[in-house]
Chain A
């Protein structure tokens, strides 16, 4: 390490950390990255073309591998071995973590939808939550740059909820499949659009990453680099500049400051030797994930920062938001026994339903303030431990029921915007420490009526679309029953939010903490709100924009 004289230290190698490191390395700055998990190489470790029958338990999930045997997540999931978290009484919070190079980008859904001006200035419109401290126009060119490097397929739909990418940025989307086409027709009859999803999956090769060959689920990791993860793209690209070094198994405990409260580096635990190390840096970027970065900051108390580093606002850990989630599905009788063809595609939505209610909301016709979208689950998927059908009887007649039911179900997964509320936040548990001696996060979580009303609307809409396709849906569950648990959608954001005032936010629009000019946050903690459109694209876009600004500050001698 002695020979590598880093200027910037980045904590985390996921979407935010890798994009920050890549951007700074490209601009000529020496970057040292610390990752709490192990080294990971998708080129040799991704289980491509594996069948469920080759895996223990037909690939089914369990407490070791929550999303199934082949899910790319290493040493993580809803629980991380030896690294617990706690919940306040009455709180049921799920916190998905991965302990591996590339973090959660190795298995994410790759849905990559832009936030819009409508999203960034929602408080100005309806009075809830907080506005973001910039305009969509400020971010638009950075969305273009990010989409170009990441590789996003989709189209410019011209719809309210989908700001266009510049000409030539998006790659062509794959053709829609039969159940999606049926959903699109049924939805259209109800005045609801279904359009190509935007997804960080290459349909055209770029650099040494190949175009998708439409097989083997992206969540398993992608050895050919078609499905975006930082371990096949930003991290190796940054290393190629010679300006990035990475230390894995390095669990950051706290940010160090001098007597004036200025950041001097971090303290981390080397998990292999269980020893603690201090490491200096002129600039520190936290990108450990929203709640992990907030945990580090709250665990960094000093005379200058008695409530945790850069927490004079008291907002660190506050404003925690996830996406709302609910699911409704049914068998479509007309799809029973339908003709077979290869329906893998890029293994996720080719079409989806974006939020279509902007005008209705503006007219005051809806009982909830913020939007949602539907992802469509359907198709001839690879058989696993679960089978569909009534499963009556035995022998050939039973098998025929399963064959007929195969590919005849359509489900709608709602993903919606949650608003911040005072009962939902994280803090540090005063008692519990993890294996490394680091005090753990404690969660408080509540949905409000605003989310429940949104879920109710979504369930009714999904039911209407299913019935238009000829399905029998039956009685809907109550929104309280249907809504996901906090954290379960794995879109946790807001715990170090950005804003225009040091009193109400933790960072400025550049992710620079108000209290320490050389401490930045570049994960979803900085989100001022949580639009329903999935976090990762915006995490990367902000990280690129804000580390470019950071580079300018270094060049000016300000940092």
Chain B
């Protein structure tokens, strides 16, 4: 079984210089070959989750990252290229890439998450020696292991080796975290929600993502700031009208 959703996604180079992208390419190439061999068998053996009696949760022994940070006076003009050692395995990076592309697939001309090296950003994030990122590391490593465990339990293969339909069946169960989420998907639902946030952040902060979301700033303006354009003004007028605020509109 091969990765139907990953038809050479990494050949696309958009001119952005996402740090670590070359390193990530190398790891991915390696990962494709070893996807089925590495992994979390221990976690699967551990089986049952701790908090809930329903479902499973991997028992991982995650060692804290002990690297130092970039310090209180980093070079901001030429940011550090590799501020700390990356920690995701090739298999984990591959899984991150597949999941990231479910979350942010290619849409027409807009690249997918993996095409924009989002997995490298996730790797940097979960490998960072800071408190918030260390919390996310625990969340996300467990989520990745859970997803492979679930794939094994349901379809007898790692997630990366599943068909798209099989992958989607699992994602459908974990991607709608809310109060109504069935008990066995609550913990993974919350963890996957955090993973989605990071993937979305990493996608939308890229130049392509900024374009997709419609961020039009970060460009110098000669002369006075022009304020809202005609379309934005017309929309505001409509909103003021609908809210009954037209007579209170701001006057210079």
Q: Given A77-B72, A185-B250, A344-B218, are A56 and B80 neighbors across the interface (CB < 8 Å)?
A: yes
> Chain B nearest CB: distance from A557 CB in Å?
45
Assign chain B's interface to a size class. Answer: 35 or more
Q: Which residues of B contact A64 (CB under 8 A)?
A: 69-72, 74, 130
Q: Which of A45, A53, A344 has the most CB of B within 10 A?
A: A53
Q: Given A203-B224, A215-B220, A340-B214, are A181 and B243 neighbors across the interface (CB < 8 Å)?
A: no
Cα distance A392–B212 when bound, in Å?
Answer: 19
Q: Which residues of B contact A45 (CB under 8 A)?
A: 76-77
Q: Given A63-B131, A403-B214, are A470 and B243 neighbors across the interface (CB < 8 Å)?
A: yes
* B212 contact from A188, A335, A403, Cβ within 8 A: A403
Residue of A nearest to B84 (CB): A56
Interface set, chain A 304-344, CB cutoff 8 A to B: 334-335, 338-344
* A394 contact from B70, B171, B248, Cβ within 8 A: B171
Residue of A nearest to B223 (CB): A211
Asked if B216 and A341 sit within 8 Å, CB to CB, the answer is yes
Q: Given A194-B250, A340-B214, A394-B196, are A334 and B79 neighbors across the interface (CB < 8 Å)?
A: no
Cα distance A218–B222 when bound, in Å?
Answer: 17
Residue of B nearest to A392 (CB): B176
Q: Which residues of B contact A58 (CB under 8 A)?
A: 121, 125, 201-202, 205
Asked if A69 and B76 sit within 8 Å, CB to CB, the answer is yes
Q: Given A56-B83, A56-B128, A382-B215, are A394 and B103 neighbors across the interface (CB < 8 Å)?
A: yes
- In the assembled complex, A4 has its CB within 8 A of some CB on chain B: no
Interface set, chain B 69-119, CB cutoff 8 A to A: 69-74, 76-77, 79-80, 83, 102-105, 107
Residue of B nearest to A174 (CB): B225
Cα distance A343–B107 when bound, in Å?
Answer: 26
Asked if A175 and B227 sit within 8 Å, CB to CB, the answer is yes
Which stretch in B12-20, B35-43, B47-55, B148-156 binds the other chain? Answer: B12-20
Cα distance A338–B206 when bound, in Å?
Answer: 21
Q: Which residues of B contact A52 (CB under 8 A)?
A: 205
Q: Which residues of A contact B16 (CB under 8 A)?
A: 53
Q: Given A182-B239, A398-B103, are A215 and B128 neighbors across the interface (CB < 8 Å)?
A: no
Asked if A57 and B72 sit within 8 Å, CB to CB, the answer is no
Q: Which residues of A contact B250 (CB under 8 A)?
A: 176, 180-181, 184-185, 188, 194, 351
Asked if B248 and A189 sit within 8 Å, CB to CB, the answer is yes
Asked if A338 and B232 sit within 8 Å, CB to CB, the answer is yes
Asked if A342 and B125 sit within 8 Å, CB to CB, the answer is no
- In the assembled complex, B179 has its CB within 8 A of some CB on chain A: no
Residue of B nearest to A216 (CB): B218
- In the assembled complex, A238 has its CB within 8 A of some CB on chain B: no
* B69 contact from A54, A62, A194, A380, Cβ within 8 A: A62
Asked if A395 and B105 sit within 8 Å, CB to CB, the answer is yes
* Contact string against B for A residues 147-187, beta-carbon threshold 8 Å, 1 for contact and 0 otherwise: 00000000000000000000000001011111011101110
- In the assembled complex, B8 has its CB within 8 A of some CB on chain A: no
Q: Which residues of A contact B248 (CB under 8 A)?
A: 184-186, 188-189
* Contact string against A for B residues 182-226, beta-carbon threshold 8 Å, 1 for contact and 0 otherwise: 000000000001001110111011110110111111111110111
Asked if B205 and A383 sit within 8 Å, CB to CB, the answer is yes
Cα distance A344–B83 when bound, in Å?
Answer: 30
> Chain A nearest CB: distance from B157 CB in Å?
21
- In the assembled complex, B228 has its CB within 8 A of some CB on chain A: yes
- In the assembled complex, B229 has its CB within 8 A of some CB on chain A: yes
Q: Given A54-B79, A81-B72, A399-B104, are A384 and B216 neighbors across the interface (CB < 8 Å)?
A: no
Cα distance A381–B224 when bound, in Å?
Answer: 19
- In the assembled complex, B240 has its CB within 8 A of some CB on chain A: yes
Q: Which residues of A contact B17 (CB under 8 A)?
A: 54
Interface set, chain A 59-81, CB cutoff 8 A to B: 59-60, 62-65, 69-70, 74-77, 81
Q: Which residues of B contact A398 (CB under 8 A)?
A: 103-104, 175, 196, 200
Asked if A387 and B214 sit within 8 Å, CB to CB, the answer is no
Q: Which of B77, B217, B228, B248 has the most CB of A within 10 A?
A: B217
- In the assembled complex, A214 has its CB within 8 A of some CB on chain B: yes
> Chain B nearest CB: distance from A428 CB in Å?
25
Asked if B102 and A175 sit within 8 Å, CB to CB, the answer is no
Residue of A nearest to B226 (CB): A175
Cα distance A341–B229 when bound, in Å?
Answer: 7
Cα distance A214–B227 when bound, in Å?
Answer: 11
Cα distance A184–B251 when bound, in Å?
Answer: 9
- In the assembled complex, B26 has its CB within 8 A of some CB on chain A: no
Asked if B207 and A53 sit within 8 Å, CB to CB, the answer is yes
Cα distance A74–B71 when bound, in Å?
Answer: 10
Cα distance A60–B135 when bound, in Å?
Answer: 15
Q: Which of B19, B124, B215, B229 has the most CB of A within 10 A?
A: B215
Asked if B178 and A57 sit within 8 Å, CB to CB, the answer is no
Residue of A nearest to B202 (CB): A58
Q: Given A394-B175, A403-B212, are A339 and B229 neighbors across the interface (CB < 8 Å)?
A: yes
Q: Given A174-B225, A176-B250, A182-B240, are A189 and B245 neighbors across the interface (CB < 8 Å)?
A: yes
> Chain B nearest CB: distance from A221 CB in Å?
9
Cα distance A398–B202 when bound, in Å?
Answer: 15
Asked if B107 and A51 sit within 8 Å, CB to CB, the answer is no
Cα distance A344–B221 when bound, in Å?
Answer: 10
Asked if A383 and B128 sit within 8 Å, CB to CB, the answer is no
* Contact string against B for A residues 382-404, beta-carbon threshold 8 Å, 1 for contact and 0 otherwise: 11111100011111101100110
Q: Given A64-B69, A64-B72, A393-B175, are A339 and B235 neighbors across the interface (CB < 8 Å)?
A: yes
Asked if B103 and A402 sit within 8 Å, CB to CB, the answer is no
Q: Which residues of A contact B212 (CB under 8 A)?
A: 399, 403
Asked if A76 and B202 sit within 8 Å, CB to CB, the answer is no
Q: Which of B104, B178, B213 has the most CB of A within 10 A?
A: B213
Asked if B225 and A346 sit within 8 Å, CB to CB, the answer is yes
Asked if B224 and A47 sit within 8 Å, CB to CB, the answer is no
Q: Given A181-B236, A338-B235, are A383 and B79 neighbors across the interface (CB < 8 Å)?
A: no
- In the assembled complex, A27 has its CB within 8 A of some CB on chain B: no
Asked if A215 and B176 sit within 8 Å, CB to CB, the answer is no
Q: Given A175-B224, A344-B217, A383-B204, are A181 and B102 neighbors across the interface (CB < 8 Å)?
A: no
Q: Which residues of A contact B (CB under 8 A)?
A: 38, 44-47, 49-60, 62-65, 69-70, 74-77, 81, 172, 174-178, 180-182, 184-186, 188-189, 194, 203, 212-216, 220, 334-335, 338-346, 351, 380-387, 391-396, 398-399, 402-403, 406, 468-470
Q: What are 22 sample pairs from A and B whose C-beta atoms fall under 8 A apart?
A: A45-B76, A56-B83, A62-B130, A174-B227, A182-B240, A185-B240, A189-B245, A213-B221, A215-B219, A215-B220, A338-B232, A338-B235, A340-B232, A341-B228, A345-B225, A381-B217, A385-B201, A391-B197, A391-B200, A392-B177, A406-B214, A469-B243
A-B contacts besides A49-B218, A62-B131, A174-B225, 16 pairs, CB < 8 Å: A56-B70, A58-B121, A62-B128, A64-B74, A65-B74, A75-B72, A77-B72, A175-B227, A178-B228, A180-B250, A213-B221, A214-B225, A338-B235, A339-B229, A339-B232, A395-B102
Nearest first, the 5 A-B pairs at minimum CB distance are A175-B227, A344-B217, A340-B214, A213-B220, A62-B130
